[in-house]
Amino acid sequence: MSIISMSNLYKTYNTGKVKVEALKSIDIEIEQNQFVAIVGPSGSGKSTLMNIIGCLDTPTSGNYLLDGEKVGRFKPNRLAEIRNWKIGFVFQNFNLLPYATAYENIELPMIFNGLSYKKRKKRVMELLERVGLADRAAHKPTELSGGEMQRIAIARALANNPSILLADEPTGNLDSVAGGSIIEIFRELHRDGATIVIITHDRAIADNVPSTIKLKDGVIVDSLN
Ligand SMILES: Nc1ncnc2c1ncn2[C@@H]1O[C@H](COP(=O)(O)OP(=O)(O)O)[C@@H](O)[C@H]1O
Ligand SMILES: [Mg+2]
């Protein structure tokens, strides 16, 4: 079964008198354990698509099934619930809490979802190991490198065992070495069964991801599986 299934999906922004058709006639099927890159020039609709996939926004028309659930027209609070449980987000700017330690940043989504202290501790330590930063648990973001911050952000995204990991330009603020190590972590997670969708401008990264969806002017112009 597809984990993400979109058919004939449109997104139109109405800003005053201007109407922007950001996505047009989008059909996408993403299977469990696929690793997909969304590529395309600036303004082609990548972030709009990512926001809809991640239930941060809703389509103007068309169908969207996430994990078999019709999310297209859900109310905001139901969308928030889906985001908490099913989706792990990774952002270009890491979005870590500056005054919290690496440990606390990873723990926070588990507190929101009501996990016990003991279970949280076990899971946080597993995730720190997983991203190779067990020895940085007590560090604050300012005491970490960019690549390390992004690894902590990935661990946080995985906190509640999401069905899918979404990353919008996750290497955009990193040098090529740190960026490469982030992509390597995604590849390992993918090998272990994760479903991953990343937006990237970086040709070298897109070439290292098994599937690509190419957008231009809100339309899918190329899809390589
Ligand atoms: N909130 C918004 N309101 C109005 N127009 C928007 C909004 N967000 C994006 N757009 C427009 O939609 C198009 C696609 O934007 P976006 O999805 O951000 O592209 P990308 O991420 O590929 O650069 C652009 O023309 C952009 O100006
Ligand atoms: Mg964008």
pLDDT of 71: 85
| Beta strands at 35-39 and 196-199: parallel, antiparallel or unpaired | parallel
pLDDT of 208: 85
Q: Whose CA is nearest to atom 25 of ligand 1?
A: 43
CATH 3.40.190.10 assigned to domain 2-224? The reply is: no
Strand boundaries in the chain, DSSP class E: 2-15, 18-31, 35-39, 61-66, 69-70, 87-91, 164-168, 196-199, 211-216, 219-224
Q: Whose CA is nearest to atom 14 of ligand 1?
A: 45
Q: How far is the CA of 183 from the centre of ligand 1 (A)?
A: 26
pLDDT of 192: 92
Encoded amino acid at 204, one letter: A
Q: Give per-residue pLDDT as tens, 147-170.
A: 999 999 999 999 999 999 999 999
pLDDT of 44: 95
Q: Listing from the earlier edge strand, what are the strands of the sheet with 196-199?
A: 87-91, 164-168, 196-199, 35-39, 211-216, 219-224
Q: Give per-residue pLDDT as tens, 156-211.
A: 999 999 999 999 999 999 999 999 999 999 999 999 999 999 999 888 888 888 89
Q: Which protein residues touch ligand 1 with a CB less than 6 Å away? A: 13, 15, 20, 22, 40, 42-48
pLDDT of 147: 97
Q: Whose CA is nearest to atom 20 of ligand 1?
A: 43
pLDDT of 169: 94
Instruction: List the Cα angle 91/92/94 in 5-degree steps.
Output: 60
Residue ranges in the chain modelled with pLDDT below 50:
none
pLDDT of 201: 82
